[in-house]
Amino acid sequence: MTVETEKLYRSGAWVPSTGSGTIPVVDPSTEEVIGAVPEGTVDDVEEAVAAAREAFPEWAATTRPERAEYLRRLHDGLAKRAEEIAETISRDVGTPMRISSRIQAALPQTDVSTYVEILEGDEPEEKVGNSLVVREPVGVVAAITPWNYPLHQITAKIAPALAAGCTVVLKPSEVAPLVVRHLFEAIDEAGFPAGVINLVHGTGPVIGEALATHADVDMVSFTGSVRAGSRVAELAARTVKKVTLELGGKSANVLLDDADVAGAVKMGVANAFLNGGQTCTAWTRLVVPADRQDEVLELAKAAAEGFVPGDPLDPRTKLGPMVSAAQRERVRGYIRTGIEEGARLVTGGADAPEGRTTGFYVAPTVFGDVDPDSTIAQEEIFGPVLSVIPYRDDDEALAIANNSEYGLHGAVWSADQDRALAFARRVRTGQIDVNGGAYNAFAPFGGYKRSGVGREMGRPGLEEYQEIKSIQL
């Protein structure tokens, strides 16, 4: 299947770009071109921002129940297209269908329904002395999103922005953009007023930078690398606009000495290799008692070797390819560095997986005896690579967990829930799971340190798109 060149979406209609360039989209499992998107221009940005600015006053004046109804219709449109969405992402990103169906297609529906439920609740207003404190929409929002969860990362931004009464210009990743067509078909079907949400395809240096510097954009919400996020924040500062950043991670998965090692390792490897390891929250550092490292490595090796690289469209496949040739080479380079710096290669390696001569595949890889200061323990690899790091006591385990420029996610395991909770409170990270605690769409999501600024999801995610006003009575 090859899709036709996509269009932009502006003022409630599909429109061509003002430029003539296109960006090809490659299936990472076959290396074949399967579609293209317009290489948008600065003029496209100008027109999209103008449309969003014009639509803002009327959209901001809608009631919470009215906005909830639009979002409910968007949710239903996404649900109706779930199968197409899952297959498109599997072909575009390389995510196995078993993950695309369960997460890539399902989580965006949850993102939207969460804000329907929040809007149906009470609007928080607070009396402070003689002041009434109210919240109002921030204005025009530029949403700049990555390729690894190409629909969820969009809905996690546009759902709260629209719920708050903001209008939006979206710039999705040009690496995996094809699912955006399904999203905007659902948006169009939901009947959002013209200009409330607009789409501009293109590259970061052109479209992303034009949005970040635009005087009529009130806020930029960005998810991506630390390098690109720093650039967005720098550019946005020129017009003193609000910025939220969801950036990288190097999450520690800590097994305390009384943990159920077998269960924790099985879940830990699955988490680390989710979406091919191309997940910012992946538990890529497995921190274990030194006297149990060999046991852990045996379990991790067996679990990792169950992630046989395969065709993402095959329902049996657990590990697909990397999203691009560049990402494949980046990950293989980190594996070589790990070997060169003295880590013990337990399974996998930098060579192509057996039988995979076509496609951007990387072998599932586990390292043991990893130095906590080494490259593979400090830098975000974004591939199926797990670093096992031994520790001597709880204080050292905590020091290793916090020995990172990132602070996005993490995990801790113990037979004693209170002990695990006490440890979790001391880890400098935006979220952490205790004994495999389940994901909660109503809880705030974001990071400490270089993992970002601000929060997504839940009521805190909505508040990022609001200004606070004090009215003295």
Q: Beta-carbon neighbour count of residue 131 at 10 Å?
A: 13
Dist. CA 352–CA 406, nearest whole Å:
30
Dist. CA 322–CA 277, nearest whole Å:
9
Catalytic residues: 246, 280
Contacts (Cβ under 8 Å, ≥6 apart) of 102: none
Dist. CA 261–CA 222, nearest whole Å:
37
Dist. CA 59–CA 11, nearest whole Å:
13
Dist. CA 455–CA 441, nearest whole Å:
12
Backbone Cα Rg of the chain:
22
Could you give the count of Cα atoms lying within 13 Å of 259 in the half-sphere of its Cβ? 31
Q: How far is CA 96 from CA 24, 86, 265, 273, 323, in A?
A: 22, 9, 21, 11, 12
Dist. CA 392–CA 164, nearest whole Å:
49
CB 443 within 8 A of CB 142: no
Q: Beta-carbon neighbour count of residue 415 at 10 Å?
A: 12
Q: How far is CA 464 from CA 112, 168, 418, 451, in A?
A: 16, 14, 32, 17
One-letter amino acid for residue 156 of the chain: A
One-letter amino acid for residue 307 of the chain: F
